[in-house]
Structure 1
Amino acid sequence: MGGESFEEMSPLYRKRVLIELAFWQRKMMKKQPIGSVWAKNIQTKLNKLIPEKIHQAITFTIEKMVKGVLFGAQYTTALPKTYSSFQLREAYVLRLIETYKKTASIEGAVTGAGGILMGVADFPALLAIKLKMLFDIAATYGYDVRQYKERLFLLTVFQLAFSSHQHRAEVYNRVLHWESYAEGLPDDVDSFDWRTFQLEYRDYIDLAKMAQLIPVIGAAVGAVVNYQLVQQLGTAAMNCYRMRMLKVE
């Protein structure tokens, strides 16, 4: 588990971290804007244009992919890393995020260029990229992702990054009080609320990703949207680990 204390940061970097964290925390607790209600209505109409079989396939894929990646052996072998300072640790995290953003952008452009069939294939591919990034970020912050509850923490970070305003405050509070919350978590992954997880994730990204299914503009949309979604997840992960390591509330 990450071990640098708050005092081991330079005063300037400490101030920067506190400011960034405070702005992010405020964003997590903001009330739902009117615009998001309108966006939800538009999203619902767009969803009706997509065949139900495709919706079912995406939902099934999300659960199987997340379970396979998070609780299989494929990505859980990253060992916790040690660094001389918290600032250096975060420099490596930022480098990781940049690398994964570029990877996701290329993947989105390729699948977006293929229209609706390739667009559907983008969902599992993007999920794998995001989850692999979370494993690498966790290890860089010094956490052992081979532990079951650390993988559940990654799942919670993922939820927080892509939750609706109605659900976000609840997930944020889990992260904020993670140590006490984790004590009551079940040991069986099937006890996790997969339905809510799937619906929240789909509802969040569907509106942005639907345009990727449109021929001609799909490649450009896929590249930009994937880049932004990975950035959003990376920012959430950084701030979640900052709260845990620095005991900030």
Structure 2
Amino acid sequence: MENKDWLVAELKTIEKWEQDQKGIWFWERIGRLPFKLLDKITPSFIQKKIGVLLDELGQFVQSGGQYLTQEKMVLKKLQKHSNQQELTIQDIASLPLSTMDEVSGNLKTNRGNLATIQGATTGVGGIFTLAIDIPVILGLSLKTLQEIAITYGYDPKNKEERIFIVKCLQFSSADIVGKQAILNELSSFYQRKEATKTEMISQLQGWREVVFTYRDQFGWKKLLQMVPIAGILFGAITNRSMINDLSEVGIMLYRKRRILEKLNQTEKELAES
């Protein structure tokens, strides 16, 4: 039963998760090393390929580009779990949170398995196949976040949602200071203030920082995948880890938005009754 007390308890769970993100993980410690060192040991064609992320993320924010996902698959999953004949994205908001959680959890598992296979496949040739892996894992990351967005009733065809998705991508790769800054940026978005859309769009001026942060962390995680054959193991592990972490971020941040909106709706209904 999604009463106010239950929703508040779930919100506190997410807020605790946000606090836990302040810990320093192994990859973050590595990421604090001078990026110039990585520049020296990373071949130029790999650096150029990672640099392409900048243009592709910009295209995604502006129009969705080649990464804009189809919503039909997610809607079918939601229909199956909710026993409804037909659903639109607008209808999802009225579904129980448990249905959204179940579908998003399945998506996380499926996309994690896909990332594992893909990472192992492109890890066979070490540095030579790493160039193939980079755009593929970016595409999988963006599509996974879009599917999670749809699961909680948010349409990635809207530019504001694509900005939010890029913020999720940034959050998953940020260090402690960066994570806190992003949470602060999103606070007004959660509160649904009138100026929210303007503020979120204005943040596009700094979207290049998203890529630079992502590039640093991405480069270190992919470093060991440059070794032929051994790259199979490293590729499978790093890709699975990246997608699982990203999925968790997307689920938590979108779940928080949906809980807050359900709480607002509950309070309105109580006020009217």
Residue number among 202, 221, 240 corresponding to 2:234 in the alignment:
221
1:7 counterpart residue number: 3
Residues 130, 38 of structure 1: alpha-carbon distance in 2 compared, 3 angstrom cutoff: closer
Choose 1 or 2 for highest CA Rg: 2
Q: Secondary structure at the match of 2:155?
A: coil
Unaligned runs of 5+ in 1: none
Residues 69-84 of structure 1 mapped to structure 2, 5 A cutoff: 69-70=60-61, 71-72=63-64, 74=66, 75-78=68-71, 80=89, 82=92, 84=95
2:214 counterpart residue number: 201
1:104 counterpart residue number: 115
Name whichever of 38-47 and 234-243 sits farther off: 38-47
1:35-75 deviations in Å (ceiling 9; x for gaps): 9446522765344211344313311x212332344523552
Residues 214, 138 of structure 1: alpha-carbon distance in 2 compared, 3 angstrom cutoff: same
For 1:177, the aligned partner's letter is S
Q: Secondary structure at the match of 1:143?
A: coil
CA contact (8 A) 1:130 1:230 kept: yes
After superposition, the CA RMSD in angstroms is 3.0
- Tell me, in whole angstroms, the C-alpha distance in 1 between the residues paired with 2:113 and 2:26: 32
Residues 39, 132 of structure 1: alpha-carbon distance in 2 compared, 3 angstrom cutoff: closer
After TM superposition, the score normalised by the length of structure 2 is: 0.76
1:183 counterpart residue number: 197
CA contact (8 A) 1:8 1:85 kept: no
Aligned length: 238
- Tell me, in whole angstroms, the C-alpha distance in 2 between the residues paired with 1:20 and 1:223: 30
Unaligned runs of 5+ in 2: 72-87, 262-273
Residues 82-161 of structure 1 mapped to structure 2, 5 A cutoff: 82=92, 84-161=95-172
Q: Secondary structure at the match of 1:131?
A: helix
1:40 counterpart residue number: 32
CA contact (8 A) 1:104 1:223 kept: yes
Q: Secondary structure at the match of 1:215?
A: coil
Residue number among 6, 10, 20 corresponding to 1:27 in the alignment:
20
1:234 and 2:234 correspond: no
- Tell me, in whole angstroms, the C-alpha distance in 1 between the residues paired with 2:15 and 2:186: 15
Identity %: 23
1:246 and 2:259 correspond: yes
1:63 and 2:54 correspond: yes
- Tell me, in whole angstroms, the C-alpha distance in 2 between the residues paired with 1:236 and 1:38: 21
- Tell me, in whole angstroms, the C-alpha distance in 1 between the residues paired with 2:107 and 2:26: 35
- Tell me, in whole angstroms, the C-alpha distance in 2 between the residues paired with 1:160 and 1:6: 29
